[in-house]
Each structure stands twice: as C-alpha cells, then as structure tokens.
Structure 1
C-alpha cells in the first residue's frame, strides 16, 4: 500500500479514536496488507496483518455465490418460486411469500420486512408468524437481511447440507481462504479483533459486550470470521479465479435493481454496484458489534480492496481509501432547494421501527422509535448498536425532489449515504438503502 495511505490510516486512527485498522490491496497479481493499532482494548492485543474479524454482511455476497453455484449445477433457477423449493417459507402478508423468486432474495427486492428480526432459533417458523412484506416482490429495492437468511435456508433445503458446511467446502476452501471459519470456537484459537464503540460523552472507544450475532443470522453475516487476506482471496475469485463461470460472474455484476436515488446503490446479485469516479465497484460493507469491514472489487482496475476497523467510525476511512484507489478525488455537492416538505410528513414503519416525520419551517423533522418485538431481540439489537437504540429528532433540508440531507452538516462533500429519499408519492421512505412504508395512524 502506498506510503501516503499508510500515513492516512495512522493519522485517521489517532484523530478519530478508532483503536485498530487493517487493510489490504490486491492489484494485478501483487498484494499488500497493512495493520495498525490495537485489536482488543481489553487485552491490549495488537492489530496484525493476520488478525481475524467478523465479515458481517460481506457474507451476503458469499451466500449469493453459493446460490449461483447451485444454479450452475441445475438445482436452482433464479426464476424459481422460493416456496416451491422451500415449502416452510411463509410471511404474514397473504400471498407475499408466493410471489418471491430466488433472484429477489439476492438483489434485495424481496420486500421481506425483517431487517431487525433477531430470533435465536427457528428463524423460518418465527418469520412466518411475526413478519410481513414491505412491498410486493420486485417492485422496490430495500436492503434485506431477511432475504439472505431465507437464501441460506434455501441452500440447505436443495443440498441437504448445513449452511456453514457449504460455506467452508464451496467458498472458503476453493477460494483459498485458509484462515476463514464460522464461529467463535475457531476464532479463539487465533488472533481475532473485537469491536468497540465510541463513548457518547468522551468519544473514547470502549470494547463491545457482544462479540457476534446469533447463528440464525449466519447467511446474512452473523458468524463468518477471517482475515483481510481471506477477503482478498474471495475478491480475486470474483475477478475470474475459480468459484464460478464467467457467465455467472457477469450476471452477479449486472444491475438487477436500481432504487433511483443517490442515497442507495443499485444491486447486482449479492453485490452492491457503487459508482466511484469513472468506474463501478462491486462492494459490500459488513457491520458487526462495534466493527465494520468492507470488500470492493474493481474489475476495470484488476483490483480488490478489503479492510476492517474495530469501531464504526472506521467507515469514513473505508470510503476515503476506496475513493483514492478508484481515482476519485471529487466529493458530491448538494444544494438546498425550496421544496414544500409537507407531502412527506407522516408515519412510516418497517420491522420494529417507527419513523414519525413532521414538516417544520420548510424542513423535515424525523423521530425514529424502536419498538422491540420481545426483550431478547431488544438485547441483541442493543448489543449490535452498542447501547439503547434511541436518538433525538433529526432535521433534514430538501436538496432535490423527494431528497433530503441532514440539517447542520456541510452540503459540500456530504457523502450520499447520509441522504433520505421518498418514493411513490411519499408512500415509502428510504434511508441507507432500507425502505419503510407509510401507514395511517
């Protein structure tokens, strides 16, 4: 990695308070890994080149890759109805599950309303009892943990093998991910980072109290653990080195769905397709309790970038390094527009979240309320978030038709993922690629 990038990592961690960071680049057959800081503030263990970490949602690309491998074997078609292959799959919205095809699970258009659904056991049974649909399959794009978890159960149904076994034998081993594993029992035998959260008063990092999400979230990213070199190996496999045919790799890179807003990326199959400069990066970010990983593949540059920071604030460094690698030194520029915010006021809901939106003085004010399904799920989300899931009301200013940016932040250079958008005549609100449906209350 170029010296200025090493310096930028050191400087960022010092200035932000992120305890540790590890990043790697593979380009045209050459590979570099650089680690800095501390992997675990409780023990003082250093972050090393070979330190393991939770992959988080990067696992979703692996799940999609497993489905594509089964499609190549003729066991699955992307146009199959999920209920035909997985009869136990149900949703509380009548007829919604029957409309979902396999490709809807992979491109985040299934509409399954289960983004924060954390049952410890019997995921499919609980899904059919407790979760409905945000929208009919294929009509919108909303980042979906539930869709990928259902894809994991689908893989088990059509192969007769456990998801973790498939991940190990069909992804880790053939891709050369030699240090990757699927649980804390393996991670404890090697150097492994834990997550940290910034103290809301001092900004100082404190260790997480929950290492990983429940095993029911395996296919969405709850359990797989490995190193930067493991992620680089997986990324190289998506440049054409051995996991899938060229035809399947190309299908995963094609735009399957586009939210039509700068605040969320179009999707392929598994991948988010993020425009950066003059190229498209195949990306996925992986959050874990107090940590954030990233994997990006830039086919036009023959480049793979992977990184992990053990504090959520590291996401800013991920974006900066990836932009530099892609040759994009520009920053988005937004401008306030005089738009009547009143049509967007109302109450919006998604799984266990309520968003109350008011029009105030030419701006929108949003209040997000978490309404946990049960105490156990509240404990899990609290562990993932590093504390109670509460936030004060947030003001937004209009910067386009149905597009709003947080008030009080500089619009010049504001990253697009800060934006909130409204769709279908304000029938839906989208933030971070996740939809909520407007309701009458």
Structure 2
C-alpha cells in the first residue's frame, strides 16, 4: 500500500487532497517578492502576551517524519519536502527529506524556509483581527469608508462591501484581476489601489454577502484596507502585528533565499517539455495579502498555535481576543469557510478542523489544525506536480493515524 494512496488516510482527512487543494491555486508571476527591510519588530513585543510554556516554543527533528516524507517523495518527481507536528507544551516536531533544488546535492533541512502560498490568507485575517482589537478597523468597515480615493470610481455594488465579507470571499469579486503586474513603477500601495480600482469598476459577479467565491483579489483588497487606515504597507504591518509578537523571525515575502544561490530551497514546476524546472519565482508582490509569505516550519507552527483551544493567548493585552477568534472562525453563507480556513467536521479532530492549502505553482503547502485536541499538522513541498497534494496529505494522514492510535493506547491502559 503506497502512503499517498492509503484509503484510511483519505478517510481520516475527508477525501482526496486533490479535491481540497485545487481551489487554492494562484497565478504565477515573474517577481521574487519585495524587500525584507520595510519594518523591524521584536519577538514577543505584546505586553502580557506569551506562549503557554511562558516562552517561544522550540523545535526538534523527528526522524519518523523524515521517513514518511521520504516515502512520499519516492518516484514523485518532487525534489524535497518539510513537515511539522505542532502540539501545545511540546517542541514542534519537524522532518525533512529530499533536495533543495533538483539536480543539486544540497539536502532539504528541517530549518529550511518554505513558501506557503494561500496559507498566507489566514495570517492576513489575523492581522485584520488585531487591527479590529486596536480600534483601527471594524469588521463592518466598508471599502468606501476606508478607500475614499477610489469610492466614486468603483461600481456602487462594491462600496458597502465590508472587510469581513472580503476575508470570507463573499464580496462578489472575481478570483483575480486582469493583471497582477499592472501599474508597474509605482509603489506597492499605489499598485494595489490601482488594481483594486480597475477590478471593481464592473458590476459584482454575485450580490455581495450571499455567495462564496474564492478570490485572491478579495483578500488583497482587505490587506489594502489595512494599509489605508494604518499608513503602512501590508508587509510592514505583518512584521509588526504577526511576525514580531509571535517570534516568527524567519518569516518574509516572496521566493526564499538569495537569488542564484541554493542557501534555501527553490520552487519547481513542469516546463513545456514536461521536465521539472527549478525557479526562484513567486506571485507578483501586489498579490501579497493573498499569498506571498515564506517561513520555517517552526515559525509556521508558532502561528497556527494561536488557533489551538488551550493556547492561553487570551486576557489583558491578548494577542487574539475571544471575540476575534469567534469572528475568524465564523462560517460564511456556505457554512464551510471562515476567514482563511476551511471549516470541516472531523472525528479525529474531536469536532471542527481547520484546513487550507496553498500554491504559487512552484510550491505546495497544506495545513490541518485541530483546536479541540490541540494539535496541528503542516507540510510543504518545493514543487507543484499533479499528485503533490495527495502525497503530502498522505503524510499528514499517517501522522493523524499515529495520534489516534496513541490516544487509543492511552485509553486502553486506563
């Protein structure tokens, strides 16, 4: 039985990973991202905020996870992968297998940076929640209120669309604008504003607030609203409000690593000749809030920890208030999507599980978070191939089965 075709695995996770992930793909672009020097922030900067252990959780290598990843890569045409198991009160267990770049001899390591594509969307949603907590935005803040310079130029159907509707993908917007590269030569905020203005001149595709339609453009506009009220780029706000307080020191934007070097993994995809090609490329930087973050698995683990039930991140000066958490995980009209997460009932998760996958067509990443049992599973590969989603979900499924069997063993011993 091959790991990535296990019926038990797919049953645990709820079906074929290909079905889960195909919605989240983003358009490729020829830019490697923006400067990493927009803003500096200090780990643990929030007064009164700390992780449950009182300090930032560390990580340790998991050789069993190494082996699972290696098995998933076998014969797949995927150069390398990294995975993590996140549990409260324990170091994050990280595994790695394969190579940073096809054709090289440089191995993938547990500390390597991975590109998470649309898993960035959950981070943008948390950024907005933080601004709501500080009174700089409201969930009911509208496009017209926060972007008055373009309000008269967009279709009236979009003017009263709220930031919450944008993050839940119910704004009636298309998936993407005609071009993410428009307005070249202008600063990033001006480019995003121009792209939004052009995209919203036409009538909404559906009545806002009534129908879910996954949209990179929608989340970009939510990030743009944050920029407008704060006078900072989305990138600077992410560093100040998310990366800094959570101690995510490896997090940045665009393709990881120095251009032309193999100091970090490269992304890969099939070329016109069917051969795998290595590229240091990403979505255009304008798309940022919808999918340009890279980071280590340990730092991704720090982020998803805030969604675990017993994370202890509430109270005075909380990173996330109970109200924020409730808003982020409240379903939209289809009942299956919150803000940056699919909301799925799973027995192994003890109730609701959060899931999301992302790809910039050079990478693939997937996350499953189980708040009721305080565990999360993360995995990323440095290639996008037809079966990468199923293979990586197979790895997560094996980790889930290990957890289920361990709990069963504990119960039997009692």
Fold shared, TM-score > 0.5 on shorter chain: yes
Query: Cα gap change, 1:3/1:47 in structure 2, threshold over 3 Å: closer, same or farther?
Result: closer
Query: Cα gap change, 1:114/1:89 in structure 2, threshold over 3 Å: closer, same or farther?
Result: farther
Mapped to 1, the partners of 2:323 and 2:165 lie a distance apart of 19
Q: Does 1:270 align with 2:340?
A: yes
Mapped to 1, the partners of 2:353 and 2:81 lie a distance apart of 22
CA positional deviation for 1:292: 0.7
Structure having greater relative contact order (Cα 8 Å, sep ≥ 6): 2
Flag structure 2 segments of 5+ consecutive residues without an equivalent. 1-60, 184-190, 404-414
Aligned length: 320
Give the equivalent residue in structure 2 for 1:368: none
Mapped to 2, the partners of 1:310 and 1:12 lie a distance apart of 13
Alignment of 1:379-418 (within 5 A): none
CA positional deviation for 1:314: 2.3
CA offset digits 1:388-416 (Å, max 9, x no partner): xxxxxxxxxxxxxxxxxxxxxxxxxxxxx
CA positional deviation for 1:274: 2.9
Give the equivalent residue in structure 1 for 2:410: none
Give the equivalent residue in structure 1 for 2:392: 318
CA positional deviation for 1:194: 1.6
Look up the SS of the partner of 1:229 in the other structure: helix
Aligned 8 A contact 1:19 1:205 in 2: no
CA positional deviation for 1:167: 0.7
Give the equivalent residue in structure 2 for 1:217: 287
Query: Cα gap change, 1:113/1:78 in structure 2, threshold over 3 Å: closer, same or farther?
Result: same
CA positional deviation for 1:89: 4.6
Q: Greater helix percent: which structure? A: 2
Aligned 8 A contact 2:177 2:199 in 1: no
CA positional deviation for 1:269: 2.0
Give the equivalent residue in structure 1 for 2:110: 49
Query: Cα gap change, 1:292/1:92 in structure 2, threshold over 3 Å: closer, same or farther?
Result: farther
**Which residue of the other structure, out of 190, 195, 201, is the alignment partner of 2:267?**
195
Q: Does 1:106 align with 2:180?
A: no
**Which residue of the other structure, out of 46, 71, 76, is the alignment partner of 1:11?**
71
CA positional deviation for 1:201: 6.8
Mapped to 2, the partners of 1:280 and 1:318 lie a distance apart of 21
Look up the SS of the partner of 2:229 in the other structure: helix
Alignment of 1:168-317 (within 5 A): 168-183=239-254, 191-198=263-270, 205-208=276-279, 211-222=281-292, 224-239=293-308, 240=311, 241=313, 243-258=319-334, 266-278=336-348, 279-312=351-384, 313-317=387-391
Cα-Cα RMSD: 2.8
Aligned 8 A contact 2:192 2:224 in 1: no
Q: Greater strand percent: which structure? A: 1
Query: Cα gap change, 1:325/1:110 in structure 2, threshold over 3 Å: closer, same or farther?
Result: farther
Flag structure 1 segments of 5+ consecutive residues without an equivalent. 260-265, 330-441
Query: Cα gap change, 1:11/1:41 in structure 2, threshold over 3 Å: closer, same or farther?
Result: same
Aligned 8 A contact 1:38 1:45 in 2: yes
**Which residue of the other structure, out of 116, 137, 145, is the alignment partner of 2:216?**
145
Aligned 8 A contact 2:166 2:219 in 1: yes
Normalization by structure 2: what TM-score? 0.70
